[in-house]
A and B are shown apart, each in its own frame.
Chain A
Amino acid sequence: MLTRLKTQVPLFSMNSYTKLREKLKLSGLSLASTHSHVIRLGRHSRHNSKMAVCIAVIAKENYPLFIRSVPVQNELKFHYTVHTSLDVVEEKISAVGKAMADQRELYLGLLYPTEDYKVYGYVTNSKVKFVIVVDSSNTSLRDNEIRSMFRKLHNSFTDVMCNPFYNPGDTIQSKAFDSIVSAMMVQAS
């Protein structure tokens, strides 16, 4: 429990930071964004979203097996976001002791919030990472729903792995997986 708390500390500070940001936004102050201005992507048309905007599967060796994002123009940004989130994933995994690694919960929870998105993580026992990015305006999404999304994703991924024609380590090109992912994604309006 102690280790848990420790890892929460930087997260919390980040979190409070975004809260602050939100507050400031509400008070009508313009705030420079740290992440979005680089790739200069304004917020695109609001999706009446219930679901993820980006879903990624990352291999054990931290290269992408699958990345899908909904506003296709933002692809690069999501790539960066997902890649950066790996740091947090690794931090969270390493925070769990070696001995406890087996009982570790696969769902990692919120990795880090940016001002536009929330990034959630999930790591399988074989260290394959799932990352789901959700629009941060989307408050209707509960932690449980995210959890079940990950579980669905994991099941589908297992199916992909079971396919004898799939070479472990290749990018995923399964139609079934694709459709599962699409079902979780926001339909681009």
Chain B
Amino acid sequence: MAQCVQSVQEFIQDSFVPMVAVLCSEDAEKVTRKNNLNFSELLRPFCRLTSEGHMRDPSNQLQVVKNLRISVNNVVTRPSVPSSGVPGHAHRRLLSEVVLTCQPAEGGVANVITAGDYDLNISATTPWFEAYRESFLQSMPASDHEFLNHYLACLLVVSSSEAVPVEKFLKLSQEQHRIQHSGEYTNPKWFIPNTLKYYVLLHDMSQGDEQRADSVYEDMKQRYGAQGCYLLKVNSRTAAAGADEQIPDPWSQYLHKSSLQSQDQYEDPAPVVVNNTAVENNVGGTSEVDGHDSEEKDGVLVNSLDNTHPLQLDTPSDTPGSLDALRAVAVETKPPPLTTGVAAATSHGACLTLNDHDRIRLFIQEFTFRGLLPHIEKNIRQLNDQLVSRKGLSRSLFSATKKWFGGGKVPEKSIAELKNTSGLLYPPEAPELQIRKMADLCFLVQLYDLAYSCYHTAKKDFLSDQAMLYAAGALEMAAVSAFLQVGAPRPYPAHYMDTAIQTYRDVSKNMVLAERCALLSAEVLKSQAKYSDAATLLIKMTSEDSDLRSALLLEQAAHCFINMRNPMVRKFAFHMILAGHRFSKAGQKRHALRCYCQAMQVYKGKGWSLAEDHINFTIGRQSFTLRQPENAVTAFRHILTNDSQQTSTQQGAFLREYLYVYKNVTGACEVALPQLPLPCINSSATRVYFGHERRLAEGEKQAATHVSLDQEFDRDLAAMWQDLEEQVVAAAKRGVVPATFQSTQCCLNSQTDNLRFPLAVVEEPIIVEVVFRNPLKVPLVLSDLSLLWKFTLKDFNRPQTQEDSVGDAVPISNEKEASVPRTSQKDDVIATEVISEFYLSPEETKLARLKLLPHQTGQLNILGLVYNLASTSSTGDTTINSTAASQTEGPSAAEGTSVRGRQDLEIQGPRLNQTKEEKTSVSHGPDRRLDPTITPPMPLLEVFFLQFPTALLCGEIRKAYVEFCNMSRVTLCGLRVASTHPDFFTFGSSSLATPLTPLSPTSFENCSAYKTLATPPGATPGSVAAVTLVSEGDFGSGTGLRGGVSGAGTGGKGITEIPLGEGTLKPGESTQLPMWLRGPDQEGVHEIHFLFYYESAEKGGKISHRVLRHTVFICASRSLSVRATACRSNTLPEEEEEERNGSMLVFVDVENINSSEAGVREFHIAQVSSSSKQWRLHKCINPAEDKDCKLTSRERGKLCFRATRCKPLQVTLKAAEKYTFADLSLGNELIITSTTPCADFFFRRCQPLESLRPPVAMETQGRHSRSQGVGHGGGDKDIAGVVRKCNEVDLDIIILWKAFVVEDNKQVILEGQLHVALQTIDKEACSLTPKEEAQEMVLLKFKPELPPPMTRPSMEQLSHLIKTNLQYPESYSHPFNQKSLCMVPVTLTLSNCSLAQVDVIIDLRHKTTSPESLEVHGSFTWLGQTQFKMQLGAQEVMRVQLRACFLHAGVYNLGTPRVFAKLADQGAMCETSQQTATPALIIIINST
């Protein structure tokens, strides 16, 4: 229970005060009327006595009466009406008004209670409750079973201006007597038959004759005794004097309520109470009506019931979706009545001076101490005597009481059996009532001991008589007086109260009395810190018959819970909610709202969402009906934005209410668009796309994929693109990437770098993708959805001056226009696209793309979104009855639930984490995604691909076409393309622009991609190679390619300038270019990225260049696998003697590894070409029988070629860098490999060996340069180089093939080429680079690996230094009969393969270890010198004549000489055995 202003004792004392009636003559009334008061009102502020009074109790002991208050009231009469326990209608309303007007002060005292983890802000006091209690107790109707509010005395007031005052007194006295004793009136009730009459002569100082008054007073004193009359002089202030004097107005606080009340009643269409004395009269309003105008009674009552008073009406039910109720409330609720106006208007006591105040005070004191108290004292004595005598008891009451009290428990006897006698009425003079009367008297004058014992006695009497009502009254008062006894000799008997309450309520059905009892008891319990009991008591008193009472009591109970030693916060909250509910039922919306708000503190944010939602919803409604729409909106917003667990029906209702409330709010103020809470926008997921939305295909054309909003952001890809762009920019800017380089970002999202203002181009759309999430289980419809923006005009073409930029900065915005849907939103500056309807399913996350099209340059800020929010249109939900109802009413309800509002897009940048401050604090960088700068026009390139394949065989050559279109109004130039797979495509070499290529794709059909020549008909295929010399530089890309490997960084490796007609594309122009594609060498799906780069012809724009991206996926399937080996030929070329040592055998092993059976039927090897700086294919050694070499699936073929060194002249010619292309056609047409597609791809081939071991390649290069400077004196390092050099081949074989593919019963010939790079003699090279699986799992290296130690050339390498060759006759006839020894001359040719001097040792000694040569017969011997030692110069050829001696005929292997070689200047090295030649067989024939 909340704290009260009064203490408990004060409160109880004030609840029961001596009542004094007033009978006033008309003249006297007139006197007081001057002050706007009647007589009783005049006295009211002075009714509390400040000084102590004294009286004697029956045992003649002097008792002090302290702080006594009396109650002075006008006598209002009414005929006998059975008093019921149910308070009258007007009575209720009065209480309701009292509570209504007493509201907590704004920002008033609140104390913070901390309980557990709850910090609650609770108003410490509940003045409305006290006010209610006070009026409730004051307006208690007098009843027969108790005398506490019966009149004890009567003031008879007569004005001194009366002609014969004494006569008037007599009249009034008679009147009083009549009222009391005639039996006409049951009200007012009188305490004692001979009521104290006190005669008051009222003298008006301003007009009356004072002396006359004095004389009349003297007369009165004679007649009634000095103690029975009084002369009261008032109105001593003249009107003139009073103007400037400020007199305190003590009446205002007493009369405030009443004036309000009356004022309100005047407004009421049915004036129930005519007289404004309604409050003062202790009787209810109804009784007054009866008294004044009994005929009107029925009508008025009916009227007031019919009239929709807030008490009876419109408790907003809890059923969801009762919008109608809400509407009704909204319409009906008027602004609360002005509370201060009336009170200020009527001032009281205008004619009274402070002196007069003192006089009145003195009068009251005089009356009480001289008149009233003695009267009471006398009566108590009388009653006491009477009782003692009647009971015939010799003992005093006290002892008797003691005995009875100890006697046992009578009152708790069964109630049920007593209830029949509850209607028992005692006659007024019954002795039982006399005790009660005496007890009441004692109680009124604070003789609590005596009162208690009397009450106790009375209680016993009543109980024994089974008069339950009387007993309850006695019990109640016994408890109270026990509590009030000074020094508290006995504990407060709480059970008395419980029984009393129960009896009142259940037996007597008198709720008013029960309530009074409960109020008293709760207050007492509270004072004893028995909060739990108090709460229980209060809760018990709540009932359906009075919402107001229930509400107030529940609230008090809640306060009890929070005031407990261990505060029960949740119980507090729960009961607050109950109280709030009852308040709202009682029409006390303000109080209801307050209760809910207080309860909210407990539920808020604790995870009890269902309860929280309920409270929020109620708060929202109450706030709305109380015209606090902002609060309502906040509350509703809370329900909707929280992750609600409500059912969809409930959510739908919430949403509708919210929209409705919102609409009313926005209707009130149209200043700015309100922020809407729904749907949720994931602002960080907002993406911004600059440029047109692209069509990917247009007929046969396939547009470049570029960037689109449908793609997801991939960090690796983005990095790749940026890398490509950097490369291409570097290439365009001649190798230097400008410092201000910023990669182009077409689509901005949360992961891109949004620190800078993005650049958008005028006349190109900006698309903003917003992610909406509908958190509710009901669908949402957004309509007229568009972007809000602010735009600052800026002309970038004009030279910018300071003033300009300042002067121009007048931001334009579409915020105003957007507030009204369907208006043109400044489309001349920026066209705003409007999405007319956007539907969000329950709990859906959906994207909306909104477009802006800027028409002017400047700075744009995209602020947010504007839309109409509506719940679903009618069709969706049939579940909600109220919706259906509202729809039947008319369409307006459904349409009305649409609200226009906005939501801002605020994107927080990434968290900064660079400096220490940034790391320790949480700060975020800017995110400029939504603030694009609109720049002047730029060219816009569109690229289309025609006949672009999706699947290729490995190495397949295909021709496709590319179309470049300039879509803008600005000329485009500097078109380049960069790619991740530069070996995949070529545009042909510009220098060798081939007129042969058909320019339009239509004429392409059956044409080979290659440039071919028919072979002369007579020529044997493969006999002679056609030779062309080509410089790599002609194939522009080549330098880049190679350069990239050598790491010079002159530009990216995959950059190709695209040969446009004049290097530019005019606006609107388009051009088509052929493009050759070659299937990647690796099978599988390849993702190939192209980045087209272009610039504006007009330089100096804000955007230096633009790019266009394209990604293709090519599926490569296996075709052929080519393995090739180069060997030294052992035979000396006889014909070309000059070409010393310049011949080589190349074995090419081709295997069809195509696995897709369906596709390729067979492969034909059409041609084998070579390309090298030093070597060329000379001729085919084993031309197959059939002209084409055919390979069906899994077949394997072998080809053998002889390669020769290029002509020395050619080698030494100006360009050692020139490549010799030698074509050996195996078919009937010759493909010129040195021209566009073939050579292009050759030069673009990736070089597996180089890439595999680049460090070694670098090494050799480096060493070469050094060895040139130092000469041949270099040490170890040189050897390797020399040795390798002699083994190096550097010959590239190009295998051109045709594949016959059956496709749709049609044979299609596909062409392709494969490259094999031969680099070392005797080492097999393959067209397929071996897959490096080991590469996948690279160990993490924490230390840089040591460079591999300088290795000496391996034995194997050294064994290739010298090529040996034996020349001998194949068969030799010798007549062994004649000559037993056969001598055959054999020439051993040694040729030095290296470029260094080599020491050679030839050992002919027969030391064959091979088992097959062990046979004795097969042995032969060399004759002559068996060991030679010689030195061979660089590439020198030396012949050594040997003689072999045979003893028998047979077949012999001559290849036994062993050759050791070492580099000449390497003294320390021992000679290495050279590779033995192949077996050299000689047949010796016996010629006999």
Contacts and interface: CB of A to CB of B under 8 A. Distances in A.
B780 to A, nearest CB: 24
Interface stretch (A34-42, A47-55, A102-110): A34-42
A80 B544 contact: no
Given A76-B614, A79-B608, A87 B578 contact: no
A32 B543 contact: yes
A13 interface: yes
Contacts of B578: 34-35, 38
A14 B536 contact: yes
Contacts of B611: 76, 79-80, 83
A85 B574 CA distance: 10
Given A32-B550, A80-B577, A83-B603, A24 B571 contact: no
Contacts of A64: 607-608
Nearest to A84: B574
A17 B536 contact: yes
A62 B574 contact: no
A34 B551 CA distance: 11
A86 interface: yes
Interface stretch (B104-112, B562-570, B976-984): B562-570
Nearest to A10: B532
Nearest to A29: B506
A94 interface: yes
B116 A90 contact: yes
Contact of A76 (B543, B561, B573, B610): B610
A30 B545 CA distance: 11
B533 interface: yes
A91 interface: yes
B669 interface: no
Contacts of A88: 568
B361 interface: no
Interface string B571-593: 10110011001100000000000
Interface in B532-564: 532-533, 536, 539-540, 542-545, 550, 554, 561
B1144 to A, nearest CB: 68
Interface string A105-143: 000000000000000000000000000000000000000
B1341 interface: no
Interface string B229-272: 00000000000000000000000000000000000000000000
A27 interface: yes
Specify which of B117, B566, B606, B607 lies most central, judged by the most chain A CB atoms within 10 Å of its CB: B607
Specify which of B506, B532, B544, B571 lies most central, judged by the most chain A CB atoms within 10 Å of its CB: B571
A32 B544 contact: yes
Specify which of B116, B318, B566, B608 lies most central, judged by the most chain A CB atoms within 10 Å of its CB: B608
Contacts of B543: 31-32
B518 to A, nearest CB: 13
A60 to B, nearest CB: 11
Given A13-B533, A83-B611, A37 B544 contact: yes
Contacts of B570: 83-87
B608 A83 contact: yes
A31 B569 CA distance: 26
B1185 to A, nearest CB: 72
A75 interface: yes
B1159 to A, nearest CB: 48
A63 interface: yes
Contacts of A34: 539-540, 542, 554, 578
Contacts of A61: 117, 607
Nearest to A13: B536
A104 to B, nearest CB: 17
Nearest to A31: B543
B313 to A, nearest CB: 17
B540 A17 contact: yes
A63 B570 CA distance: 12
B245 to A, nearest CB: 55
A32 B571 CA distance: 19
B542 A27 contact: no
Nearest to A27: B416
Contacts of A35: 578
Contacts of A79: 608, 610-611
Contacts of A39: 318, 581
B536 A83 contact: no
Contacts of B540: 17, 34
B577 A38 contact: yes
A17 B582 CA distance: 22
A79 B578 CA distance: 14
A87 B569 contact: yes
Contacts of B608: 63-64, 79, 83
Contacts of B582: 38
B532 A24 contact: no
Interface in B499-528: 506
A13 B317 CA distance: 33
B607 A87 contact: no
Contacts of B506: 24, 29
A62 B606 CA distance: 7
Interface string A64-97: 1000000000011001100111111011001000
A40 B610 contact: no
Interface string B601-636: 001001110110010000000000000000000000
Nearest to B581: A38
B116 A13 contact: no
Given A62-B606, A63-B606, A63-B607, A83 B318 contact: no
Contacts of B545: 32
B418 to A, nearest CB: 13
A80 B318 CA distance: 15
A34 B607 CA distance: 25
Nearest to B531: A10
Contacts of B614: 76
A91 B566 contact: yes
A83 B543 CA distance: 24
Contacts of B569: 87
A94 B566 contact: yes
Contact of B610 (A10, A29, A75): A75
A80 to B, nearest CB: 6
A138 to B, nearest CB: 23
Contacts of A86: 570
B618 to A, nearest CB: 11
B567 to A, nearest CB: 9
Contacts of B573: 83-84
A167 to B, nearest CB: 15
Contacts of B544: 30, 32, 37
B571 A84 contact: yes
A64 to B, nearest CB: 6
Nearest to B568: A87
A8 to B, nearest CB: 12
A23 to B, nearest CB: 9
A146 to B, nearest CB: 22
A181 B230 CA distance: 83
Nearest to A75: B610
Nearest to B605: A63
A32 B539 CA distance: 10
29 contacts: A10-B532, A14-B536, A17-B536, A17-B540, A27-B416, A30-B544, A32-B543, A34-B540, A34-B542, A38-B577, A39-B318, A40-B318, A61-B117, A62-B607, A63-B606, A64-B608, A76-B610, A76-B611, A79-B610, A80-B574, A83-B574, A83-B603, A84-B573, A85-B570, A86-B570, A87-B561, A87-B568, A88-B568, A94-B566
Given A29-B506, A37-B544, A39-B581, 18 more contacts: A17-B536, A27-B416, A34-B540, A38-B578, A61-B607, A76-B610, A76-B614, A79-B608, A79-B611, A83-B574, A83-B603, A84-B570, A84-B571, A84-B573, A85-B570, A87-B570, A90-B116, A91-B568
Interface of A: 10, 13-14, 17, 24, 27, 29-32, 34-35, 37-40, 59, 61-64, 75-76, 79-80, 83-88, 90-91, 94
6 closest pairs, A vs B, by CB? Answer: A63-B607, A32-B543, A87-B568, A38-B581, A84-B574, A87-B570
